[in-house]
Amino acid sequence: MRVLGLDVGEKRIGAAISDPLQRIAFGLKVYKRKSIQEDMGELRAIVETYEVEKIIVGLPKDLKGRLGERAKDVLRYKQVIEEELGLPVILWDERFTTNEAHRVFDLFGVNAKRRKRYLDATSAQIILQGFLDAQAH
């Protein structure tokens, strides 16, 4: 069984998937948010294809750990996922994941056009890998 990681933004959702042993996260895809029904259809297809047993969703917090408006949107989205897909959803602190993704892109010389295309999936991968690493200890 695998774990799905999500970086839920206002316009796009980045997705990452674990290996079957739940040790390594791989960026999977980025899709534009549409209606909640279409989003759940997209997630349901991923869950069925990869035999996902739980979902990790990045929770945006400010530097002091407070929840803002984006976090409230993510909390609502979490609830819908649990109700629609019947899987446990775990919230994971996503502070600095975008900065970390940009550092990875810098390291590999990824240009601006490709960064925009892969940023959300890479952020989801970083969120998921953080969760997997914490579970291994």
Give pLDDT tens digits for 63-114.
777 877 888 999 999 999 999 999 999 999 887 777 777 787 777 777 877 7
Q: Which residues pair with 13 in a beta bridge?
A: 8, 31
Whole-model pTM: value is: 0.90
Going across the sheet that includes 52-59, the strands are: 25-32, 12-18, 2-8, 52-59, 89-93
Cα→Cα distances 121→8, 64, 97, 133, Å: 10, 25, 11, 18
Are the beta carbons of 40 and 73 closer than 8 angstroms? no
Confidence check: pLDDT of 38 > 80: yes
Which pLDDT belongs to residue 56?
98
Q: How confident is the model at residue 114, as a pLDDT?
A: 77
Q: Which fold does the domain 2-136 belong to in CATH?
A: Nucleotidyltransferase; domain 5 (3.30.420)
Higher pLDDT, 119 or 121: 121
Alpha-carbon 11 to chain mean position? 14
Question: E strands within 2-107?
Answer: 2-8, 12-18, 25-32, 52-59, 89-93
**Cα–Cα distance, 113 to 118 (Å, whole number):** 9
Quick one: pLDDT at residue 65?
74
Asked whether residue 33 carries a pLDDT value surpassing 80, the answer given is yes
